Structure formats: structure tokens, C-alpha cells
């Protein structure tokens, strides 16, 4: 077997404008090359320099990289700092105290602006309150809250006291919550009474009680409750504390607890696209360093920018690019409680115009759904809004299909704004492969080049580099500061998942298939588990999906393999049309057309044997397509897998049978 074949050709190239290059922090190819060369020459020295220049250390480190217990690497291990101090006091000291840190917009559209000083005081009051309940450095806190200033304060209050937080997305069920409380052995839960999404109040605290009732959570001593709606809640006076009462009379200063560089800032359970969620453990110093560097270099953040990352703090993107990165670099950012389609699907564009956002970072799933919406409801099309404040846009979470990229580039960015397509993972802490706006020409669908210092490569199953133009396994050849430190409580699974011996054992194995074109650009081809084998050709899912999405009828597509006597595996495509779901007869006609289309775009080998139409696709709660479920559906098997992170279980029935 020789890697994965690449079949889709994409030749469009968008070089950065001279103005973008000259204004950028990393300006021009030579500046990028110089950083890469510095890292090449003295890897530890490069990261040590950046860690000294960017982080505020209570006790400076003397060791940079400790590889003695590989693959459990340590960075800056004898240094001490506090992450919350680095994000808050830093801004009080450097003249940003009265700068707006957060522009919060609620689901219903109310706006609340919080300055760095106000944020600092809120965090300190909550931290003092948590301290008064007897909590100490080293304990774990589960945070189960909606997007809010309070959720960010809760994360920072934990960081300030040396508590390790684990944020659980507010859309997760009581069962998922219970599993995470148990796995993390949490002693504190911070939640809200209810959350508000799309005009509806959705209870949160009852899920906490349900989780407790399932057992195994006896180590939780207190539940701190943020009153979001004032809805009715049950109350256990021994255990439950209102956040506003707890914080009310506390001092507005709280000295940070200094922690080791390697102290676990947080544990975050991955979204579960590929199986049982894993508790990804991150460090303090190395993690924050990468959050800051990527804010400065990828997002090219400038003092007057208004940054908006649409992720939820329940995902890693919301950790690095809402809770920590933007604050550590003193940015003004938008935090949004609601959803992109309420009260109408022009909400994102309306908010960009209203708050004059200059940098906008979202996910392909959101873009695809807004493309579909803007076709069915023309009033929600971005052309109806003044988006002239935008200067840079980003994408994260899945490969972005080239046609979705083009739509985003033309209609949202006005052909003016570079798109940073950032490849990274919960495990990597921050961007790994991404364009830098003042350096790289962009190719729609490519995440382009490694971040300076990141040793990304594509290898075959023996760990040898594949030639340019060929696909293979995406690996990171050297440890980096913001990498995952462990799977919480399961060191063996950590080694098996990321440094498997039967593979090579030396490189971090990302689990994604990728291909590097002749210009050296990286293209993510989908997850290794999803690679198809059709008549001896190993094909990534991404390219066939992108070919389908390039058809004007198609909004979204997912492709999986099904065992086939003749070809080994047959391609089965699940398709969402821009129009509503077709009836059987119409479906057959469109399926025939799409099969031919794929044959023309890619080649006969990639033609789907079967196409099923749905109103949607099964997705994780972070919006990613769950192909592992589609594989079962394609072969007609019962689904017995873990579907705890599935957003829309009802869709499975619709996709079960061929029409």
C-alpha cells in the first residue's frame, strides 16, 4: 500500500495583496522563511526565545524541552507563571485597562461591553468566592455553561487558582456530563440555570442533577450556578451556590496562584467524530504561548481589530481563540450567545456590520448551511449587509470544500479578505498548518503551509516521507509547546492513539490523511479511518465530497465506503441539496446527474455507486459530519456505536434506506 491517491485538481491561486503583505506582522516570504530557518537550526532555542518574549513568567525557565520520558514531553518545565495573570494583569499594566475586551451579544440581541479592568475584577471576585468555598490548586472543575462573559470568567477564575477546568458543551446530555465529571474526578461544577438559544430557554441545571443521580459524582462538593434566565430550579442549600451571591462581596483583586509551566490548565473531551471521547490534557505555558503566537501571526491581530470567533467555549477553538488567545494579546472580541440562524440566517452578517468586526473565524459547516440559507432566503445573503469592516477571515473544524471557500471569499470577504484555513486539533492546542495572511498565496481548500516551527510532514505507514504530489498520513515530527500532554487518566491510550508503535512511534500521528502538492501545499483528505479503497485505489473522502459540492444543486455531501464484491469498496454518497429533499423519482434523476458529474470532475473510479438524499447529515454537536455512522447506514447495519455526541439522531432514520 502506498499512501492515499489524490484525484481532485485545484489550480486557483490567490496571492496576498501588496498592502496585506506590507501591513502584516509576518510580512512576506522571507520573514516566514527566516522563522522556519531559525527553528530548523536551533529548535529548542527558537521556542525558548518566543516563550521569553511572549509570556510573563513569575519564575523564568531554564530548561526548554525535556524529552527524557518521550512521548510525554515537557516544555519550560522549571518555569512558573499563571495563565489568567498573563491574560488580565498584563492588560492592566500595558495601557489596555479601559479597552473593551468583550463585546457580548445575547441570543436576543442585547449588547454588553466589558473592559479589561471590569473583566479582571469579575474574574477576581469569582476566584475569591471559589477560594472561600475551600477549593485549592490541583482540583478539577467542570464548567457547563452557555456562551457568556460568565463562562469566560469561570475559566479564568479556575486558571487563577490553579484549578484544572473541563468545559462541557452546554448542548451535551446529562449522560455525557456525568461521564466527564466521573472521568475528570471533578470536585466542583459551575453551571447556569438555563441557556438561551434560538429564542428558547433550555434548562442546564436539571442535567447536572440528573448526572448526579446517575452516580459516581460524589466527589463534587459544590455547584456554582450562574443565573442566566431566572427560570425555576431545584435547590440543594448545602451544595448549590448562586454565582452572583458568591461573588458579590468579594474583593476585586485576587493574587494569582503561580503554577508550573506544565500544570494542566484544562482537560477537554474531543468531539467524538471517531469514537469514545478522550480527555485531552493541556499544559499552561506551552499552550498559552501557541495561543498568543497564532493570534499574532495567523490572525495578524492589530490593536484596533475587532476579532470574532464564532465557536463555543465548549470546543477547543473556543478555548484558544476566545477564552485565552485574544485576551493574552489584548484584543477586542465579540462573544455571541446565540446561533447563526436566529432570528434569521443573516445574523452573522448583521453582527459583523453592527460591531464592525475585522477578523471573522468560523467553521465550514456554518458556511455551507448559510450558503443553503441564502439561496432559499435571499434576504439573508451577505450582499445585503455592509461587511466592509472585514479584513481577514478564517475557517476551522473540517476541510473546507473549494466551492464553499470561493463563496466565502467572494460573498463575505468581497474578494478582498484573505482566508486562513487553519488545520489543527483539540490535541494540538492551536493552529498547525495554516496560511499566514502576509505570506502565502491561497488555494481554495488547502490549509497551505506549516506554522513556523511546526514540523508537519506526510509519511507512509512505515514513517517514511512520501514524495510531493502523493498522499499519506499527516504527522508532526517534533514535539511542540502546545501539544497534548496526556489523555487524562489513560497514558496507554495516549501512546496508542498518537505515537503508535506499529506505525513508527517517533512522530505524532494526527489521524488525518493528507497530500502535499508540487508547490508544497498541504491538502487534508479526511480522516485515515474514512479512507476508501476502490479497486485498489485509496481515496480520501474529501475530494469526492468537494466534487459533489461543486455541483450547483448540492449544499453538502458526505462520502463513505461500503464493502463491494467487485471493487472491494463502493462509494456511497449522502447528499443534502440546496433545494428540499427530492422525492424518489426526482432523486433518481438527480443521482444520475451527480454520478456523471463526479465522473467528469474526478474520474469514473470515484463515481458513487449509490446516492442517498437527506435534509441534513448526522453531525457532532460541533457541526462535524459523523462518517462512521454513515458507514453503518451504507451497508445496512444497525448502529451500535457511541452516539452520545450526535446532534441530530432523527436524521439517521431518513438516511437508512436507499430511495
Q: Is 432 in the site for ligand ATP (CB under 6 A)?
A: no
Complex with ligand ATP: residue 143 or 396, whichever CB lies closer = 396
Complex with ligand ATP: residue 386 or 642, whichever CB lies closer = 642
399 marked as part of a ligand binding site: yes
Nearest-approach distance from CB 46 to ligand ATP, in angstroms:
24
Q: Is 659 in the site for ligand ATP (CB under 6 A)?
A: no
Tell me the window of 67-75, 120-128, 396-404, 453-461 that interacts with ligand ATP (CB under 6 A).
Answer: 396-404
Complex with ligand ATP: residue 178 or 422, whichever CB lies closer = 422
Complex with ligand ATP: residue 118 or 644, whichever CB lies closer = 644
Q: Considering only residues 316-335, where is the footprint of ligand ATP by CB under 6 A? A: 316
Tell me the window of 71-79, 127-135, 284-292, 389-397 that interacts with ligand ATP (CB under 6 A).
Answer: 389-397
DSSP one-letter code for 646:
B
422 marked as part of a ligand binding site: yes
Query: How many beta carbons lie within 10 A of that of residue 455, not counting itself?
Result: 18
Candidates 79, 399, 413, 435: give the one binding ligand ATP (CB under 6 A). Answer: 399
Q: Is 340 in the site for ligand ATP (CB under 6 A)?
A: no
Q: Hunting for cell 502523493 — which residue is that?
A: 470
Helix pair 541-549, 584-601: axis angle to 10 deg? 120
Cα angle, residue 633 at apex, residues 628 and 638 outer, rounded to 5°: 95
Whether 92 and 117 have beta carbons less than 8 Å apart is answered as yes
549 marked as part of a ligand binding site: yes
How many residues are listed for the chain in this entry?
A: 659
Residues 537, 152: Cα–Cα separation, whole Å: 47
Query: How many beta carbons lie within 10 A of that of residue 202, not counting itself?
Result: 16
Complex with ligand ATP: residue 163 or 420, whichever CB lies closer = 420
Complex with ligand ATP: residue 108 or 500, whichever CB lies closer = 500
Q: Considering only residues 144-173, where is the footprint of ligand ATP by CB under 6 A? A: none
Q: Is 448 in the site for ligand ATP (CB under 6 A)?
A: no
Closest by CA position to 313, among listed 431, 145, 450: 145
Candidates 105, 179, 312, 421: give the one binding ligand ATP (CB under 6 A). Answer: 421
Complex with ligand ATP: residue 312 or 512, whichever CB lies closer = 512
Candidates 360, 408, 409, 423: give the one binding ligand ATP (CB under 6 A). Answer: 423
Helix (H), strand (E), coil (C) string for 360-372: EEECHHHHHHHHH
Candidates 398, 403, 460, 569: give the one binding ligand ATP (CB under 6 A). Answer: 398
Element (H, E) at 200: strand 200-203
Query: How many beta carbons lie within 10 A of that of residue 467, not counting itself?
Result: 11
Q: Considering only residues 513-552, where is the footprint of ligand ATP by CB under 6 A? A: 524, 527
Candidates 447, 528, 570, 575: give the one binding ligand ATP (CB under 6 A). Answer: 447
Element (H, E) at 289: helix 285-297
- The C-alpha cell at 32 is 516566514
Helix (H), strand (E), coil (C) string for 515-540: EECCCCCEEEEEEHHHCEEECCEEEC
Complex with ligand ATP: residue 73 or 424, whichever CB lies closer = 424
426 marked as part of a ligand binding site: yes
Complex with ligand ATP: residue 101 or 510, whichever CB lies closer = 510
Q: Considering only residues 265-294, where is the footprint of ligand ATP by CB under 6 A? A: 270-274, 277
* Cis preceding linkage at 343, omega within 30: yes
Q: Is 205 in the site for ligand ATP (CB under 6 A)?
A: no
Complex with ligand ATP: residue 396 or 611, whichever CB lies closer = 396
Nearest-approach distance from CB 659 to ligand ATP, in angstroms:
29
197 marked as part of a ligand binding site: yes
Contacts (Cβ under 8 Å, ≥6 apart) of 378: none
Q: What Å distances lie between residue 534 and 90, 541, 607, CA to CA?
A: 56, 12, 10
Tell me the window of 72-80, 88-96, 504-512, 632-640 that interacts with ligand ATP (CB under 6 A).
Answer: 504-512
Whether 75 and 261 have beta carbons less than 8 Å apart is answered as yes
Nearest-approach distance from CB 315 to ligand ATP, in angstroms:
6
Q: What Å distances lie between residue 156 and 24, 391, 458, 564, CA to CA?
A: 30, 29, 37, 53
Q: What Å distances lie between residue 657 and 611, 625, 634, CA to CA?
A: 10, 18, 8
601 marked as part of a ligand binding site: no
Nearest-approach distance from CB 459 to ligand ATP, in angstroms:
16
Residues 307, 112: Cα–Cα separation, whole Å: 16
Q: What Å distances lie between residue 351 and 100, 197, 293, 415, CA to CA?
A: 17, 16, 27, 20
- The C-alpha cell at 557 is 455531501
421 marked as part of a ligand binding site: yes
Q: Is 624 in the site for ligand ATP (CB under 6 A)?
A: yes
Nearest-approach distance from CB 561 to ligand ATP, in angstroms:
17
Q: Considering only residues 553-582, where is the footprint of ligand ATP by CB under 6 A? A: none
535 marked as part of a ligand binding site: yes
Q: Is 644 in the site for ligand ATP (CB under 6 A)?
A: no
- The C-alpha cell at 379 is 434576504
Element (H, E) at 334: strand 332-336
Whether 161 and 135 have beta carbons less than 8 Å apart is answered as yes
527 marked as part of a ligand binding site: yes
SS3 helix, strand, coil % of the chain, rounded to 5? 35, 20, 45
Q: Considering only residues 7-66, where is the footprint of ligand ATP by CB under 6 A? A: none
Nearest-approach distance from CB 91 to ligand ATP, in angstroms:
29
Nearest-approach distance from CB 588 to ligand ATP, in angstroms:
32
Please list the residues that pair with 269 across neighbouring strands: 279
Q: Is 176 in the site for ligand ATP (CB under 6 A)?
A: no
Query: How many beta carbons lie within 10 A of that of residue 81, not counting itself?
Result: 24
Nearest-approach distance from CB 424 to ligand ATP, in angstroms:
6
Complex with ligand ATP: residue 523 or 574, whichever CB lies closer = 523
Phi and psi, residue 450, nearest 5°: -60, 145
Nearest-approach distance from CB 522 to ligand ATP, in angstroms:
9
Tell me the window of 295-303, 482-490, 509-517, 648-656 that interacts with ligand ATP (CB under 6 A).
Answer: 509-517
Closest by CA position to 340, among listed 278, 412, 389: 412
Closest by CA position to 424, among listed 508, 348, 343: 508
25 marked as part of a ligand binding site: no
The binding site for Mg(2+) consists of: 549, 554
Residues at the site binding ligand ATP, with contacts judged by CB under 6 A: 270-274, 277, 316, 395-399, 421-426, 447, 510-512, 524, 527, 624
The binding site consists of: 197-200, 317, 397-399, 421-426, 512, 527, 535, 538, 549, 554
Amino acid at each position: 500500500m502506498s499512501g492515499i491517491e489524490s484525484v481532485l485538481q485545484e489550480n486557483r491561486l490567490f496571492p496576498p495583496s501588496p498592502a496585506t503583505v506590507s501591513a502584516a506582522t509576518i510580512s512576506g516570504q522571507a520573514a516566514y522563511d527566516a522563522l522556519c530557518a531559525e527553528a530548523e537550526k536551533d529548535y529548542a532555542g527558537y521556542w525558548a526565545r518566543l516563550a521569553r518574549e511572549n509570556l510573563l513568567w513569575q519564575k523564568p525557565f531554564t530548561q526548554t524541552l525535556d524529552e527524557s520520558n518521550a512521548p510525554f514531553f515537557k516544555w519550560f518545565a522549571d518555569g512558573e507563571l499563571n495563565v489568567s495573570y498573563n491574560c488580565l494583569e498584563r492588560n492592566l499594566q500595558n495601557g489596555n485597562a479601559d479597552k473593551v475586551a468583550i463585546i457580548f451579544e445575547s441570543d436576543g440581541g442585547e449588547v454588553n461591553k466589558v473592559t479589561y479592568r471590569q473583566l479582571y475584577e469579575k474574574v477576581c471576585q469569582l476566584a475569591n468566592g471559589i477560594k472561600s468555598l475551600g477549593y485549592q490548586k490541583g482540583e478539577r472543575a467542570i464548567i457547563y455553561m452557555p456562551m457568556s462573559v460568565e463562562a469566560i470568567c469561570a475559566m479564568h477564575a479556575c486558571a487563577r487558582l490553579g484549578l484544572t477546568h473541563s468545559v462541557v458543551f452546554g448542548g451535551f446530555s446529562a449522560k455525557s456530563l456525568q461521564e466527564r465529571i466521573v472521568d475528570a474526578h471533578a470536585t466542583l461544577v459551575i453551571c447556569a440555570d438555563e441557556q438561551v438559544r434560538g429564542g428558547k430557554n433550555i434548562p442546564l441545571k436539571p442535567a447536572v442533577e440528573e448526572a448526579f443521580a446517575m452516580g459516581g459524582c460524589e466527589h463534587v462538593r459544590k455547584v456554582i450556578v450562574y443565573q442566566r434566565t431566572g427560570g425555576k430550579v431545584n435547590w440543594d442549600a448545602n451544595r448549590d451556590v448562586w454565582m452572583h451571591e458568591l461573588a458579590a462581596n468579594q474583593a476585586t483583586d485576587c493574587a494569582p496562584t503561580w503554577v508550573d509551566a506544565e500544570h494542566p490548565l484544562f482537560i477537554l473531551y474531543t468531539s467524538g467524530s471517531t469514537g469514545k471521547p478522550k480527555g485531552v490534557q493541556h499544559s499552561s505555558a506551552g499552550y498559552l504561548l501557541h495561543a498568543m503566537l497564532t493570534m499574532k501571526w495567523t490572525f495578524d491581530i492589530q490593536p484596533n481589530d475587532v476579532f470574532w470567533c464564532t465557536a463555543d467555549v465548549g470546543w477547543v477553538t473556543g478555548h484558544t481563540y476566545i477564552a485565552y488567545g485574544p485576551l493574552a494579546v489584548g484584543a477586542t472580541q465579540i462573544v455571541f450567545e446565540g446561533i447563526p440562524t436566529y432570528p434569521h440566517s443573516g445574523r452573522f452578517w448583521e453582527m459583523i456590520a453592527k460591531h464592525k468586526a475585522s477578523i471573522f473565524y468560523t467553521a465550514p459547516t456554518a458556511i455551507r448551511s448559510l450558503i443553503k440559507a441564502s439561496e432559499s432566503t435571499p434576504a439573508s445573503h451577505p450582499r445585503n449587509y455592509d461587511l466592509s469592516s472585514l479584513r481577514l477571515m478564517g475557517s476551522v473544524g473540517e476541510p473546507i470544500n473549494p466551492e464553499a471557500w470561493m463563496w466565502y471569499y467572494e460573498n463575505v470577504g468581497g474578494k478582498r479578505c484573505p482566508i486562513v484555513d487553519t488545520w489543527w486539533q483539540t490535541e494540538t492546542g492551536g493552529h498547525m498548518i495554516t496560511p499566514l495572511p502576509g505570506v502565502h498565496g491561497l488555494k481554495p481548500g488547502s490549509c497551505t503551509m506549516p506554522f513556523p516551527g511546526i514540523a508537519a510532514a506526510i509519511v507512509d505507514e512505515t514513517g517514511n516521507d512520501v514524495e510531493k504530489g502523493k498522499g499519506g498520513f499527516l504527522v508532526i515530527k517534533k514535539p511542540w509547546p502546545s501539544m497534548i500532554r496526556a489523555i487524562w487518566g489513560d497514558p496507554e491510550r495516549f501512546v496508542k492513539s498518537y505515537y503508535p508503535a506499529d506505525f513508527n512511534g517517533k512522530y505524532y500521528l494526527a489521524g488525518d490523511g493528507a497530500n502535499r502538492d508540487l508547490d508544497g501545499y498541504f491538502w487534508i483528505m479526511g480522516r485515515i479511518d474514512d479512507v476508501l479503497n476502490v479497486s485498489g485505489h485509496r481515496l480520501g473522502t474529501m475530494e469526492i465530497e468537494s466534487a459533489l459540492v461543486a455541483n450547483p444543486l448540492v449544499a453538502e455531501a458526505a462520502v463513505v465506503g461500503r464493502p463491494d464484491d467487485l471493487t472491494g469498496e463502493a462509494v456511497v454518497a449522502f447528499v443534502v441539496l440546496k433545494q428540499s429533499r427530492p422525492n424518489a423519482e426526482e432523486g433518481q434523476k438527480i443521482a444520475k446527474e451527480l454520478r456523471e458529474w463526479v465522473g467528469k470532475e474526478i474520474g469514473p473510479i470515484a463515481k458513487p455507486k449509490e446516492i442517498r438524499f437527506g435534509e441534513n447529515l448526522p453531525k457532532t454537536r460541533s457541526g462535524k459530519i459523523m462518517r462512521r455512522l454513515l458507514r453503518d447506514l451504507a451497508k445496512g447495519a444497525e448502529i451500535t456505536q457511541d452516539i452520545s455526541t450526535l446532534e441530530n439522531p432523527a436524521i439517521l432514520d431518513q438516511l437508512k434506506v436507499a430511495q
